[in-house]
Amino acid sequence: MKQLLSVLYAPVDYIHPQRFKSLGSPQGPVQQQLLNSHILAHFGLCSDLPTAATSVLMRTLVSNWRYLRVAATLLGCKLGRADFVRSGQLASLSLMQQRYLGLPIITPQIALPDQGCSQTRAQALGASYLLLFVPQLPLPLAQRLPLLFAPEQLNIAMPSGLEPNYTLLNFAIDYAKTNYP
C-alpha cells in the first residue's frame, strides 16, 4: 500500500525531467509536498485510490515502479534486436543489455525509431510498448505511467494487433531488479 501511495501522491520522485522542469530538487518535505501538489494539478492527475481489487499487472507495476525505465529499455532492446543487428549497433548497448538480448525469450520484432542514440531509441521503443498495458490499468496508474518517460519517447506506433505480453514484461522487470539494483 505504501508503494501505491508513493506512486499516486509523490510524482516528483519519478517524473521524467523533460516533463516537468523544476528549479531543482526539493530541499525539504514541505517543498516536496508543494511540488507534488503542483505536479498533480498541472497534469490533472486523478488522485483517487483504485477501488477495484488490484490486478496482478497493477501490483507488478506498482511494486516495481522504480525499475520500469530500465525494464522499458530492456524491452526496447529485445523488441528492436533485429534493427540493432542490422545497423551494427549491438556493440553500443551495455554489457547487461547485450546479455539480456542473449536470453532465449521469443519476442515480436519492431522497427526502432530513426533518431537518437541506441539507449534512447531502445527506451523509446520499450516505453511505447509499455503503453500497450495502459487500457488494463485503473485511471490513476494509466495517467502516471507515461510520466516516467520523456514525451517524445511515447510516439512510436506499435504494429496493429500487437498485444501486450505480461510474461515479457515480467522477464524485463526481473532482469532489471537483478542486474540494475
CA pair distance 133, 147, nearest whole angstrom: 14
pLDDT confidence bin for 153, thresholds 50/70/90: confident
Contact 47, 40 (CB under 8 A): yes
Better-scored residue on pLDDT, 69 or 52: 69
- What is the mean pLDDT of the segment spanning 54-69? 93
Grid cell, residue 167, equals 510474461
DSSP 48: P
Residue spans per domain, the chain: 54-179
Q: In Å, how far are 132, 134, 139 from 160, measured between CA atoms?
A: 11, 16, 23
pLDDT confidence bin for 116, thresholds 50/70/90: low
The percent of residues above 90 in pLDDT, for the chain, comes to: 55
Contact 71, 166 (CB under 8 A): no
- Tens digits of per-residue pLDDT, 95-105? 999 999 989 98
- Tens digits of per-residue pLDDT, 124-143? 999 999 999 999 999 999 99
Strands (E), 19-143: none
Output the pLDDT for position 58. Answer: 92
Output the pLDDT for position 52. Answer: 62
Nearest to 126 by CA among 174, 162, 172: 172
Output the pLDDT for position 156. Answer: 83
55 alpha-carbon distance from chain centroid: 18
Grid cell, residue 57, equals 499487472
Check pLDDT > 90 for residue 108. no
Output the pLDDT for position 133. Answer: 96
Instruction: Tell the residue number behind the cell numbers 531502445, with chain if given.
Output: 122
- Mean of the per-residue pLDDT values for the chain? 88
Output the pLDDT for position 117. Answer: 66
